[in-house]
Amino acid sequence: MRTSHFPLPFAGRRLHIVDFDASSFHEHDLLWLPHHDRLRSAGRKRKAEHLAGRIAAVHALREVGVRAVPGIGDKRQPLWPDGLFGSISHCASTALAVISRQRVGVDIEKIMSQHTATELAPSIIDSDERQILQASSLPFPLALTLAFSAKESVYKAFSDRVTLPGFDSAKVTSLTATHISLNLLPAFAATMAERTVRTEWFQRDNSVITLVSAITRFPHDRSAPASILSAIPR
């Protein structure tokens, strides 16, 4: 499968972006993956996306001196080497991955159309979040896509501590031209409630990329000072 890779520094991390041509995918390309048998029943599109994501992940791991291909866990999550956190995402013909020694989550999404945004908004945000998105200077379809993507990034960053939380378990509290903050509710995870997660974002062509960067306790919670992700118990 034809691919092109380039690293992109962003928000203190280095994203590894792989653009790929799914039409050039061949079944034998999967033999490069140690876990290729796990993909035997997947569709052609899914196989190409998975391969591109793992290629991006391999580039990310090599950056920290690790030569490995992340396997697939019981929940279909990527399996990262001990002591490392990582995240993979793909959309259309782009895949990306990031690696860190702190919790990290990344997501890429195509910007919704006005029609799609109107139709999906009730399942992604509530009325309070809608007001925050509408108060930003961003077009509503872009703002809603960012809300969706930011929640996906947060779920990925804490996938080992939560089990399929709904979109209503993390609420948008602010949205600017560079970041979006989310309030984690008890429904997300009892141990994660009353915390705020900040995600950085940027637009690439007709897609947005969000990256979890930091987490803090709410100002009224004096039991712990603000901390970066590395301070969260693993």
Q: Which residues are annotated as a binding site?
A: 46, 54, 89-90, 107-109, 152, 156
Beta strands in the chain (DSSP E): 3-10, 13-20, 71-72, 78-79, 85-91, 94-100, 106-110, 170-175, 179-184, 195-204, 207-217
From CA 191, how far away is CA 138, in angstroms rounded?
Answer: 33
From CA 229, how far away is CA 232, in angstroms rounded?
Answer: 6
Tokens of 150: 């930011």
202, 140 contact by CB (below 8 A) = no
CA dihedral sign, ordered 28, 30, 34, 39: negative
Residue type, 111: I
Q: Binding site for Mg(2+): which residues?
A: 107-109
Distance of CA 40 to the CA centre of its chain: 25
99, 141 contact by CB (below 8 A) = no
Q: Binding site for CoA: which residues?
A: 46, 54, 89-90, 107, 152, 156
The string over 10-23, giving b where at least 16 C-beta atoms fall within 10 Å of a residue's C-beta and e elsewhere, is bbebbbbbbbbebe
